[in-house]
Amino acid sequence: MLEGQEPLWSPAVKDAIQADYTKDLVDWLDDGSRLHPCSFELSEHGYEILYGICAMPASTCLCPAA
């Protein structure tokens, strides 16, 4: 079973994470044309988005001043 690093996660949270992971795995095994959710292409796309957000200068952020 997938285990998080946080020991205080409730069993319901752990079960929900495992259920989503298992469903993605089964869907991928049933349909060979689908990309695996952890494929490099999908992971790289998400990384590029997060990198762009983190690399954005604070002066261009639309966040209200604290």
Q: What is the pLDDT of residues 2-51, one digit of tens each?
A: 555 566 767 777 788 788 888 888 888 898 788 777 788 888 888 898 88
DSSP of 6-46? -TT--HHHHHHHHHHHHHHHHHHHH-TTSPPTT-HHHHHHH
> Would you say residue 62 has pLDDT above 70?
no
Long-range contacts of range 59-65, CB-CB < 8 Å, 24 or more positions apart? none
> Would you say residue 53 has pLDDT above 60?
yes
